[in-house]
Amino acid sequence: MYADGDYDVAGFSVGAVERDNILTGDGIAEGDVLLGLASSGLHSNGFSLVRRMVADLGLDLGAKADFDSERTLGEVLLTPTRIYVKSCLAAHRAGLLKGLAHITGGGFDENIPRILPDGLAAEIDAATWHMPAVFKWLVDAGVAPEELSRTFNCGIGMVAVVAADRATEAEDILSLSGETVWRIGELVARTPQLPDVIVSGMDQAWRG
C-alpha cells in the first residue's frame, strides 16, 4: 500500500538474440575461471536493509558520507547502476564466454548457482578484488560479511565464466571495453558437504 505522495517507478528492456548465439552455459566445466566485473555501487539492490540502517543510525542522506569526502550519503547510495551489455557482447562475439551471472539481489549466493551445472560449485576468494567503500561501511555498521555476500553485489556486478586457457584473452577484451576485471575464483567439483558458492576470506578482506 502506498501513502499519499508515494510513488513507484519501474522500467524494463526487451532483448533479441539469434538462436545459435544464445549463451546456454552447456560448456561450463570444472576448472573454469570466474572473472568479476566491477560494480559502480549498490546497483539498486538491498535497499530495504540500507533504509533500515539509515533510519536506525539516524543518518542524514544530505550530509557528506563518512567514507566519501566528495559526495553525500544519498549520492553514494543512488550511484547509477553499471550496465555491462557492450563489454559482455564483445567477449561473447569473440567466443570467450561460457556463462554470465548478473549479481543483483541475492548476491553471489543466489545468482551464480543459476548458471552452474549439477556437480559444480563456485569457489571465490574475497581478497581478489577491491570492494567499494560503501560495502565496507555496511559491514562496519553491522552487516555480517555472510549477509553482505547473499544480499549485495559486494563490488562485483557481473561474473563471467571462461575457460582457464582463454581467461587472459577474455580479461583483455573486457578491459578494452571499459571494465575493471578481476579473477575472483574458479569452478570446483561440488560434494554434498559444499554449498553452491564458497566465498573465502570475507572477514579479513571486508572488515576495517
- Reported confidence tier of residue 96, pLDDT bands at 50, 70, 90: very high
Give percent above pLDDT 90 in the chain. 78
> pTM to 2 decimals?
0.91
By the 10 Å C-beta count (0-12 exposed, 13-18 middle, 19+ buried), 61 is classed as middle
Which of 1 and 29 is assigned the larger pLDDT?
29
Q: Model confidence over 30-48: pLDDT tens digits? A: 999 999 999 999 998 888 8
Whether residue 193 is predicted with pLDDT greater than 90 in this model: the reply is no
DSSP β-ladder status, 120-125 and 64-65: unpaired
Distance (Å, whole) CA 91 – CA 141: 38
Q: What is the pLDDT of residue 55?
A: 92
Whether residue 1 is predicted with pLDDT greater than 70 in this model: the reply is no
128 contacts 37 by C-beta, under 8 angstroms: no
Q: Model confidence over 104-158: pLDDT tens digits? A: 989 999 999 999 999 999 999 999 999 999 999 999 988 999 999 999 999 999 9
Contacts of 38 (CB under 8 A, 6+ apart): 82, 129, 130, 155, 156, 157, 179, 180, 181, 182
Distance (Å, whole) CA 170 – CA 162: 7
Contacts of 81 (CB under 8 A, 6+ apart): 40, 41, 43, 44, 157
Whether residue 175 is predicted with pLDDT greater than 90 in this model: the reply is yes
Provide the CA 115 distance to its chain's centre, in angstroms.
Answer: 14
Give percent above pLDDT 70 in the chain. 99
By the 10 Å C-beta count (0-12 exposed, 13-18 middle, 19+ buried), 207 is classed as exposed
Helix (H, G, I), strand (E, B) or coil at 174: helix
Count how many Cα atoms sit within 13 Å of the Cα of residue 42 in the half-sphere of its side chain. 22
575493471: which residue's cell?
180
Whether residue 64 is predicted with pLDDT greater than 90 in this model: the reply is yes
**Mean pLDDT over all residues of the chain?**
93
Q: Angle at CA 29, nearest 5°, toward 24 and 32?
A: 105
Q: What is the pLDDT of residue 31?
A: 98
- Reported confidence tier of residue 208, pLDDT bands at 50, 70, 90: low
126 contacts 199 by C-beta, under 8 angstroms: yes
* Set of cell numbers at residue 87: 563489454
| pLDDT mean over 7-24 | 85
| pLDDT mean over 92-105 | 96
